[in-house]
Amino acid sequence: MSLQSQIADDLKTAMKARDRDRMSALRMLISALKNTAIEKGRGPQGELSDEEVQQVLATEKKRRDEAAASYAENGREESAAKEQAESDLIAAYLPQQLSDDELDAIIDDVIAREGATGPSDMGKVMKGVMAEAGNRAEGGRVSPRVKARLTGS
């Protein structure tokens, strides 16, 4: 079963259980997936590959994380909790994140393969690491680690 179909089935289950929060979050995801399918010229009923679905989910998760942090900063704890719950729901559909050790091993491998020697090589190292890690590591988590490796700090 495709990831997109799994999300649709989970929406049906949430509807039967009358779980309003889960229904709302899943409907938001389905809407984002339909918008992406339309942008790619496949129409609103177009199927996306699991990789494309994961990219959309990663983007939506990042949006929820940023919104939760913003709400928490401004003392809106209830809104922050809602955004965090949606982020957690989305995370369940994404691949397991790489551990710090696994990520460091990939970074070291890419640096050696590219022959990177300093901060000027950051772009090509980031490109290689993100290609290898895919949706299993967020760029905001990778970038400082790559920078630290390349500057020696």
Q: Which pTM was predicted?
A: 0.74
- For residue 49, the model assigns a pLDDT of 86
Instruction: List the CATH code of the domain at 100-151.
Output: 1.10.10.410
DSSP 8-state code for residue 97: P
| DSSP codes of every residue in 106-152 | HHHHHHHHHT--SGGGHHHHHHHHHHHHGGGS-HHHHHHHHHHHHHT
The domain 3-91 having CATH identifier 3.20.20.10: the answer here is no
Query: Tell me: the pLDDT tens digits for 50-106?
Result: 888 988 998 999 999 999 999 999 999 999 999 999 999 999 998 888 888 888 899
Handedness of CA 135, 141, 147, 150 (dihedral sign): negative
Domains of the chain: which residue ranges? 3-91, 100-151
